[in-house]
A = this chain, B = another copy of it.
């Protein structure tokens, strides 16, 4: 009998077991043979679970059972997920995972181990929850050179920003609501500071461009400094503020990767992605823009991606799906700083006599677009620069900071 095992019986783990059992008949038909759930590994006890007889606390039960072909690693974090995954792959068992942290940190290495052992390491669930993106990017769009990947990759921050935009809720209130609804964790740092989105753009970029992009090489800023005043100015100028992860090659073919809030034009489809939904836009030199949209997190949506990978791994037993990218540790020469990239910038400043200050701005930034808002204080100015190399914007902002206080700067999408 072919077996699968699930490591970690939390939200995604229990969802995976639930979806597998619910759809078992059609899953076995798709695989072409009978499959059963062999083990659930978790340190907690679940005496009342209908799967109590499958529970184990001993990893070697799974590792040493030759009938276990595919293991879903759903514990998250680096350790012991890394050690478990490595040992399983070395035994020739395929591993599927939603663990973006591990894939972003160790993807190249684990993919190589999988490859060397005729096993598969699949991670459709690590980006965009249930939204199909890894396989479409790797397979369906393989005929394209990828010109850019950008998207709303974190549902928690998109929920918060949506509340700020649609209901003028403050950041703090929106964060609390997200926590009350179970969308944000007690410690929301990874979400609101952009680390979660950063891991995801690293995975997508590594896959699209063939070299491991490490999170520490990606500029990452979150949304906690976004104020309702910025939301209002953005809206008046025709934009919504979204947390965007983006990776693209510059004109010399070097990669620029960044996670930050951006002003997205209201007629762009990303601007209309609300609540906990995610959307990822891939631009190819053949296909143009394609967008993948859906629930980026949650128990059953994420389980959907995990179970899809389980089926694929079972169908490709002992055959490698050729998903891989090269290690890049210690060599970042294929990347370049976002400071060398061009962008337009929304800037809000505090200054004496704003209307008078407008004139002196043009001597710094050239032509800018000023934005108004109702009851704008006399000492406040908001404007959008023309598209410039970002380090040149910084230079001008340094000059400006002698006579004004820089309150916000947000890139344009």
Contact = CB atoms under 8 A, between A and B. Distances in A.
Interface of A: 15, 19-20, 22-23, 26-27, 30, 32, 124, 130-132, 135-136, 139-145, 269, 272, 284-295, 298, 300-301, 303-308, 310-312, 315, 319, 322
A313 to B, nearest CB: 11
Chain copies in complex: 2
Contacts of A293: 269, 290-293
Nearest to A30: B142
A304 B146 CA distance: 11
A19 to B, nearest CB: 5
Given A19-B286, A130-B290, 19 more contacts: A22-B285, A23-B144, A131-B290, A135-B136, A140-B305, A141-B308, A142-B312, A143-B303, A144-B307, A144-B308, A284-B304, A286-B300, A287-B294, A288-B295, A288-B298, A288-B300, A288-B301, A290-B293, A291-B291
Contacts of A27: 142-143
A299 to B, nearest CB: 9
Given A293-B291, A293-B293, A322 B311 contact: no
Nearest to A291: B293
B311 A142 contact: yes
Which one of A20, A291, A295 has the greatest number of beta carbons of chain B within 10 Å?
A: A291
A253 to B, nearest CB: 12
Query: Across chains A and B, which 8 residue pairs bring their CB atoms closest together, nearest first?
Result: A143-B307, A132-B140, A286-B304, A290-B294, A130-B287, A132-B136, A287-B304, A291-B293
Which one of A26, A143, A291, A294 has the greatest number of beta carbons of chain B within 10 Å?
A: A143
A295 B281 CA distance: 12
A101 to B, nearest CB: 22
Nearest to A289: B294
A19 B124 CA distance: 27
